[in-house]
């Protein structure tokens, strides 16, 4: 299994990149990391701008066959909390990315966490209806999801506006941050899985202080 990693850049802008570490079965180790580039040799990056000007920094990638054509496309969370996507115009073995654009919901709004802080993501069938929903962890500790209302004729997921599942643990009042339940810190890094094998998805959450939390789902 290969490893996909985002990066943080102190320069900001479009300098942060996405890297892949390919596993060598022959040598039983990983090859040198390689930055993923666009077809014209530029860093694959959401670009400048966005809600706080940091759309292209602190990248958190997730690979998935978004358009159901047999290869992996790239979804990315960022410093400013927005989600962006790059469609793979190549193949599963020879990827080709032209550009990365903000992901939008059914109302045409760019999908992002309300706190304007870091976002990371995963696709999972949260509502058990047979398709992949968008799950998002936020920089202030909140966890969110966008329901996929994709129909049979749709080639890509169709996402409803973002909804809160777990409230942020960090609240900004004036110039100060206040920390509370459930995590008492920010940077909720999510992993969705059926931990207790009861047929419902649960969540494993890492936080800014290095703790790992287990959230068991009680109902559908």
What secondary structure does DSSP assign to 90-136, as a single string? S-SSS--B---EE-B-TTSPBPB-TTSS-EEEEEE-TTSSSSPEEEE
**Quick check: 169 pLDDT over 70?**
yes
Q: Calculate mean pLDDT across residues 29-33.
A: 91
Contact 156, 66 (CB under 8 A): yes
Share of the chain above pLDDT 90, in %: 60
**pLDDT band at residue 54 under the 50/70/90 scheme:** low
Phi/psi of residue 167, each to 5°? -65, 150
CA distance 120 to 8: 13
- pLDDT tens profile 59-92: 999 999 999 999 999 999 988 889 999 999 999 8
CA distance 194 to 116: 29
Which has the closest alpha carbon to 214: 187, 186, 191, 184?
Answer: 191
What is the model's pTM? Answer: 0.90
């Amino acid at each position: 299994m290969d490893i996909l990693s985002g990066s943080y850049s102190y320069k900001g802008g479009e300098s942060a990149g996405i890297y892949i570490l390919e596993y060598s079965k022959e040598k039983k180790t990983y090859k040198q990391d390689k930055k993923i580039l666009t077809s014209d040799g530029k860093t694959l990056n959401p670009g400048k701008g966005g809600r706080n000007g940091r759309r292209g920094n602190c990248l958190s990638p997730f690979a998935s066959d978004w358009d159901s054509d047999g290869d992996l496309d790239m979804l990315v969370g960022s410093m400013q909390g927005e989600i962006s996507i790059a469609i793979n115009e190549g193949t599963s073995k020879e990827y080709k990315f032209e550009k990365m654009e903000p992901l939008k919901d059914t109302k045409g709004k760019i999908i992002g966490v309300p706190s304007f802080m870091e976002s990371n993501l995963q696709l999972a069938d949260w509502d058990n209806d047979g398709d992949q929903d968008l799950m998002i962890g936020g920089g202030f500790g909140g966890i969110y999801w966008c329901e996929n209302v994709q129909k049979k004729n749709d080639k890509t997921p169709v996402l409803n506006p973002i909804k809160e599942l777990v409230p942020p643990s960090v609240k900004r009042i004036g110039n100060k941050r206040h920390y509370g339940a459930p995590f008492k810190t920010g940077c909720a890094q999510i992993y969705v899985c059926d931990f207790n094998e009861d047929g419902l998805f649960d969540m494993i959450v890492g936080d800014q202080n290095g703790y790992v939390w287990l959230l068991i789902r009680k109902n559908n």
